Structure 1
């Protein structure tokens, strides 16, 4: 066991009440709302039709292009409707079980080859369950030297990984071993924080009968759960600016992802359900819920006892990195790890922002080693090139800078807006460049075709002239032959 550190960060109240209660199963809702795009790539292509009956585990939609993931039926159901606009949406009505669930052929987890493990993970639609939802098989395609399972659940109120480790530690370890073998890594480490004693004891208890791993117990500090920060805390290695963990031979996977990998390989189960924290002062009983993908948020709140009278704000994700929901119809996606309901008393007081006083507190806590005060100034001045040069896109939007800013400036929101704008402008430039290239290629093709036609016409004219010359010569020859000797 080891304890490391990373640059910046904050010590925040954990508020992990949900981790103290057993995982609670959420029953199937009246309607499942399954998004076709639950990953960074394009929306999956539906393979079913409205009115069709499907069985649990049946392939509903096939991945399209890079960074996509297959979708499977969370339970026996009837397809009510299919909407392929935007992220796409399959509405399913759960039905009484009639027949066995569909399972993928079992693999021997002790002997399966690396390529077979990767293929199984892809076929099961497994993605990162820590939030990004990047397809796990894609991450495993590149060889690594070490694998770290991320159990450092540092954001307040999120507790699904904590509870998972308490109840299913051995499945997590065995899934981690499969991940290690799948990418050829030499070592497996599991990182948790020191305020997770029950999870620590469960991992140590399972260690005797599970594959070898090293347990890293880290000081509780936000945002240690970010993979760059975790690598620095565990290994003392920094991921280069603009680079990725794979560039230094490290693979970081969420502990929930590891469990899903174990179920996919050893039990043939596609990813159709996940654990989600339901917490905050606005719910009756904070708890970790196991629910089918597509379960509306309203049902998850119901599994936690429902709303309290003073419930005031609904957030998908953690209180610092999540996004506000306008209603509770949102269907649970593979990457959704938390639902937070804030009470009236928990909503931060709205304060008028003031000019930056250049105190440097934001730079002190920034885990990406950025200068947020400078980025803010560049944004105000419209200096886009300087925004990029000073690492805007290295910002992980953890909001640590917001928490310490004495001027109450909404730094993270501003950085997020600049990122969206610059990415949008880059896409527009790329589209314009592509359109110009297509135009130039078309013009070149038209000019080439015109030149070819001109050459063909000239050749035809030359042939006609040559033929006429031959005829004239023959006529002259005949004329000479008929004349006087």
Structure 2
């Protein structure tokens, strides 16, 4: 194929490619004036990635002073192109900033504030590049950050390094086929000599058999300038090709010049063909000969909203709005600003994006050049897109698969071969933005492939790690085995004890001992009687020893103190008096201690008897129950008081509620009398305890008499209150049937009280008989007293319950026709429920 390409190019013949279009050129707006320079901005925004590849490492930091052309990043290979400072100044920030893409997504950017000096870094220009070999020249091109300026921005050094000794045909692309763009046209007209030097450097590096410059026939001035420069050159040919879009694409230009079609998936270098843009050739000249980094490029400023159309030298990192402000730009919210040509370019959402190596044209159209996007309609299967496609693809099918996200089908129909020239969208009668669908689908497929590649790399790392760990494990086991074998050999040689066997024997013995302890513990758990006699004996011995030590210390201290005091008292009467007072206090304390000891011994004796005497046990239980009941009664009194407060406000205007309040008052009086009896018992017990400390039998008799007396007085007070209340109620009940019912309930309660009084009397008589026997037996006396108290309290509680039930029945019969009484009944029911809940809580406690 290489020989075929050379043979065909030497035929001086042109071929054609299928498809293509002839859109309006619109180039005359900007190619009439030479390239000019504009004022520099105050701030430059330099993205660290401006080429097709990855970013290098940043080698500056915030606050650093930089010079024009100084490198800001450093790469490790040809695909990591460095970027350079476009002017002298200070690094103000390094971080995310909007970038030059369709969505202005943020990218890592270095912000430089210009100092106005525009001072170059140190340069080493050379006059004769031929004294350097290809490797040195490629390295210099790489260090200066030169990339392809035709649109793809591939690393020029990477492309040259791959094509060295393989290139047969070098093509310099000056076609510039897309409408509006004229930067290459003006570069060929204004800088023809420098362009030729760049081409000669590429020729020196690649050593091709043929060099061809291809220019479209719609650039007559550029053609004349290049022809004039080539008069004295024999190894470079100029080929003028017909105007047709997209003849400037790499594969289509090769097909025009050689008639050869680049197979799918292959590159032109595989056929011995290398292609570079005229802008790239000029940048190579400045990098190699002038030792200048790629910090600026020619940019076309065109469109009807720009007053001074033309081409300018734009420093990389300059914001678009700074360029447009200097060319009489007319701002408008209705029309966008495009970067690139109208077919392959894109609109930007903000003019703050910077100029990069990819920006070759800025278009600001108005209503005559730009119309609102027409409504997208359904595909009519006209095949216009397929007929115009210069690659020979089926855009209609790719559209369906891209829209349906059928990635496999899209790849099967060679979506990756699409050069996104926009011809299909240009000719589509349904206004379908086919290129946009294809770009989105390519992005999704690339993301999927990136994730798959990362998964493969992760799997490889995991497998490598597992293999490394397995190898380390095997090596470790091998070392252990070798050490064990060596140890055994040493032992066998010395006829000594095997340390491994000895260690195993010790472990076995320890395990057997542990098992014995566990078996013993299990047997103890099963029998339920562990043998703790030895442990208890040890504890007792320690306790006795500690007690004896304390007693000995006390005796020694007393003796020493006594000796000291006696020696001073003999000559001092005041100290003698103090000593006598201390002696009396000590004697009194000893007497109290003896009394306390007697009480403790008596309590122990009683407890020892109560354990074998069911009567004493019953007495103790009765006393505990009485105490619990007393506390519950106190809680009931408190709840009654609260209920009475709420009811009094309603009783004042209702005689029926007055009767209810009176009944509650009587119950309250009874409870208070019972509480008084309890308090009197406690006071009497306190008075008697001082006299009966040494006579427990008399103390019990005195307490029983006091309780009987207090109960009798409380009952007498209740009888007197009932009589007076009955007189008042009878006078009202004669004319009120409801009051009559209340009076009847009171009478029944009174009868029950009398019956209880009789029961109390009989109990007292029984107690007298028992007392005659209990005088000789104090235990029987205490049992009888406890039983009597419990019985009296139980009967009092039962009476309260019965009276409450009777009263509730009467009130319910009246409340059915009286809503106010119904409310009273409900309040009483709530109070009763509250009492029962408190009683349950006390029982649980």
**TM-score with structure 1 setting the length:** 0.91
- Cα displacement (A) at 1:160: 0.4
Distance 2:348 2:314 in 1: 19
- Asked whether the equivalents of residues 108 and 265 of structure 1 are also in contact (C-alpha less than 8 Å), the reply is no
Q: Structure 2 vs 1, CA of residues 46 and 259 (structure 1 numbering), >3 Å: closer, same or farther?
A: same
- Establish whether residue 268 from structure 1 lines up as the match of residue 291 from structure 2: yes
Give CA deviations for 1:406-453 in whole Å, capped at 9, x if unaligned. Answer: 222221111111111111111111111111222222223333333333
Distance 1:211 1:95 in 2: 47
- Cα displacement (A) at 1:23: 1.0
2:153 to 133, 158, 161: 133
- Establish whether residue 70 from structure 1 lines up as the match of residue 82 from structure 2: yes
Match of 1:208 in 2: 231
Extract unaligned runs of 5+ from structure 2: 1-11, 98-105, 499-845
- Asked whether the equivalents of residues 42 and 65 of structure 1 are also in contact (C-alpha less than 8 Å), the reply is no
Match of 2:395 in 1: 372
- Asked whether the equivalents of residues 171 and 214 of structure 2 are also in contact (C-alpha less than 8 Å), the reply is yes
Q: Structure 2 vs 1, CA of residues 167 and 326 (structure 1 numbering), >3 Å: closer, same or farther?
A: same
- Asked whether the equivalents of residues 316 and 323 of structure 1 are also in contact (C-alpha less than 8 Å), the reply is yes
Give CA deviations for 1:299-347 in whole Å, capped at 9, x if unaligned. Answer: 2212322225576101221122122211111111122111122224433
Does 44-53 or 245-254 show the bigger shift?
A: 44-53
Match of 2:26 in 1: 15
Extract unaligned runs of 5+ from structure 1: 476-485
Match of 1:278 in 2: 301
Alignment of structure 1 residues 101-250 onto 2, 5 Å? 101-109=121-129, 111-141=131-161, 142=163, 143-209=166-232, 212-250=235-273
- Cα displacement (A) at 1:352: 3.0
- Asked whether the equivalents of residues 189 and 215 of structure 1 are also in contact (C-alpha less than 8 Å), the reply is yes
Does 306-315 or 40-49 show the bigger shift?
A: 306-315
Distance 2:240 2:263 in 1: 24
- Cα displacement (A) at 1:244: 0.8
- Cα displacement (A) at 1:272: 1.4
Distance 1:324 1:104 in 2: 40
Match of 1:28 in 2: 40
Structure with bigger helix share is 2
Q: Structure 2 vs 1, CA of residues 235 and 173 (structure 1 numbering), >3 Å: closer, same or farther?
A: farther
- Asked whether the equivalents of residues 315 and 339 of structure 1 are also in contact (C-alpha less than 8 Å), the reply is yes
Q: Structure 2 vs 1, CA of residues 381 and 101 (structure 1 numbering), >3 Å: closer, same or farther?
A: closer
Distance 2:209 2:107 in 1: 38
Match of 1:92 in 2: 112
Does 127-136 or 40-49 show the bigger shift?
A: 40-49
- Cα displacement (A) at 1:105: 3.6
- Asked whether the equivalents of residues 78 and 155 of structure 2 are also in contact (C-alpha less than 8 Å), the reply is no
Match of 2:384 in 1: 361
- Establish whether residue 445 from structure 1 lines up as the match of residue 465 from structure 2: no
Match of 1:478 in 2: none
Alignment of structure 1 residues 338-357 onto 2, 5 Å? 338-357=361-380
Q: Structure 2 vs 1, CA of residues 464 and 374 (structure 1 numbering), >3 Å: closer, same or farther?
A: same
Match of 2:59 in 1: 47
Match of 1:323 in 2: 346
- Cα displacement (A) at 1:139: 0.9
Is the partner of 1:267 in helix, strand or coil?
A: coil
- Asked whether the equivalents of residues 69 and 120 of structure 2 are also in contact (C-alpha less than 8 Å), the reply is no
Q: Structure 2 vs 1, CA of residues 265 and 456 (structure 1 numbering), >3 Å: closer, same or farther?
A: closer
2:337 to 295, 314, 317: 314
Does 288-297 or 58-67 show the bigger shift?
A: 58-67
Distance 1:38 1:192 in 2: 27
Q: Structure 2 vs 1, CA of residues 378 and 332 (structure 1 numbering), >3 Å: closer, same or farther?
A: same
2:279 to 233, 244, 256: 256
Distance 1:36 1:2 in 2: 44
- Asked whether the equivalents of residues 56 and 82 of structure 2 are also in contact (C-alpha less than 8 Å), the reply is yes
Match of 1:482 in 2: none
- Asked whether the equivalents of residues 87 and 119 of structure 2 are also in contact (C-alpha less than 8 Å), the reply is no
Match of 2:793 in 1: none
Give CA deviations for 1:149-204 in whole Å, capped at 9, x if unaligned. Answer: 11111111111001111111222122112112211212211111111111111112
Q: Structure 2 vs 1, CA of residues 159 and 99 (structure 1 numbering), >3 Å: closer, same or farther?
A: closer
- Asked whether the equivalents of residues 104 and 270 of structure 1 are also in contact (C-alpha less than 8 Å), the reply is no
- Asked whether the equivalents of residues 173 and 210 of structure 1 are also in contact (C-alpha less than 8 Å), the reply is no
Q: Structure 2 vs 1, CA of residues 209 and 303 (structure 1 numbering), >3 Å: closer, same or farther?
A: farther
Distance 1:4 1:104 in 2: 45
Match of 2:570 in 1: none
Match of 1:82 in 2: 94
Q: Structure 2 vs 1, CA of residues 427 and 279 (structure 1 numbering), >3 Å: closer, same or farther?
A: same
Give CA deviations for 1:340-379 in whole Å, capped at 9, x if unaligned. Answer: 2222443343333333222221111111111111222333
Distance 1:376 1:99 in 2: 52
- Establish whether residue 431 from structure 1 lines up as the match of residue 454 from structure 2: yes
Distance 2:465 2:130 in 1: 57
Does 242-251 or 341-350 show the bigger shift?
A: 341-350
Q: Structure 2 vs 1, CA of residues 308 and 81 (structure 1 numbering), >3 Å: closer, same or farther?
A: closer
- Asked whether the equivalents of residues 21 and 244 of structure 2 are also in contact (C-alpha less than 8 Å), the reply is yes
- Asked whether the equivalents of residues 295 and 315 of structure 2 are also in contact (C-alpha less than 8 Å), the reply is yes
Does 304-313 or 210-219 show the bigger shift?
A: 304-313
- Cα displacement (A) at 1:234: 1.7
Alignment of structure 1 residues 373-392 onto 2, 5 Å? 373-392=396-415
Give CA deviations for 1:70-102 in whole Å, capped at 9, x if unaligned. Answer: 222222222222227974211112223286553
Distance 1:275 1:104 in 2: 24
Is the partner of 2:112 in helix, strand or coil?
A: strand
Distance 1:89 1:107 in 2: 35
Considering Cα pairs closer than 8 Å and 6+ residues apart, tell me whether 1 or 2 has the greater RCO: 1
Q: Structure 2 vs 1, CA of residues 297 and 99 (structure 1 numbering), >3 Å: closer, same or farther?
A: closer
- Asked whether the equivalents of residues 42 and 64 of structure 1 are also in contact (C-alpha less than 8 Å), the reply is no
- Asked whether the equivalents of residues 284 and 308 of structure 1 are also in contact (C-alpha less than 8 Å), the reply is no
- Asked whether the equivalents of residues 282 and 310 of structure 1 are also in contact (C-alpha less than 8 Å), the reply is no
Distance 2:298 2:355 in 1: 10
For this pair of structures, how many residues does the alignment match?
A: 475
- Establish whether residue 457 from structure 1 lines up as the match of residue 480 from structure 2: yes
Is the partner of 2:30 in helix, strand or coil?
A: helix
- Aligned-residue RMSD, C-alpha: 2.4
Match of 2:314 in 1: 291
- Cα displacement (A) at 1:211: 6.3
Whose radius of gyration is greater, 1 or 2? 2
- Cα displacement (A) at 1:113: 3.2
- Asked whether the equivalents of residues 88 and 120 of structure 2 are also in contact (C-alpha less than 8 Å), the reply is no
Is the partner of 1:190 in helix, strand or coil?
A: strand
Is the partner of 1:253 in helix, strand or coil?
A: strand
- Cα displacement (A) at 1:292: 1.2
Distance 2:25 2:428 in 1: 21
Match of 1:402 in 2: 425
Structure with bigger strand share is 1
